[in-house]
Amino acid sequence: MKEIVLDTETTGLSVKDGHRIVEIGCIELDDLIPTKNVFHCYLNPERKVSDSALKVHGYTDQFLADKQKFKDIAEDFLNFIDGKKIIIHNAEFDISHLNNELSLINKKKITKDFVIDTLEIARNKFPGSGISLDALCKRFKIDNSKRDKHTALIDCELLSKVYINL
């Protein structure tokens, strides 16, 4: 069975405040084994990156200025995830941002029917314990030393290993 491990980086936390996606990363798994099939792009969010988000991922307004807009990659992205389960850590966050982007260009939203939230799985498996991606990497002895800043692809690589352990 094919699944997609997905992560986004954004200009800030809240869609309600107009925050947008600046990076999408996806890694395909086939029976829990990563394939070479990857989707990755940086995006021009058409707004400023908040100071707090800049500290998390390090993508400046200048770096993002010449990148494609979400509407330019939407079809390729939707084709990549089509018909596959989507694995996300804290799915509420990523799905709300993705669905906001999709609604801005009048595309059908992603339903939660196809989403597996590893945060919920971890919360149920390890009540009262740390369930951040870093905490789960530590629990499962997954090397996350490459993770200086949050980047969608590195986070997907780590999450794919965490997901297998969960």
Catalytic residue ranges = 150
- Close Cβ partners of 147 (under 8 Å, ≥ 6 residues apart): 134, 154, 155, 158
With beta carbons less than 8 A apart as the criterion, state whether 159 and 147 touch.
no
Amino acid in the structure at residue 30: D
Please state, in angstroms and rounded to a whole number, the distance separating the CA atoms of residues 91 and 10: 14
Euclidean distance between CA atoms 64 and 51, whole angstroms: 15
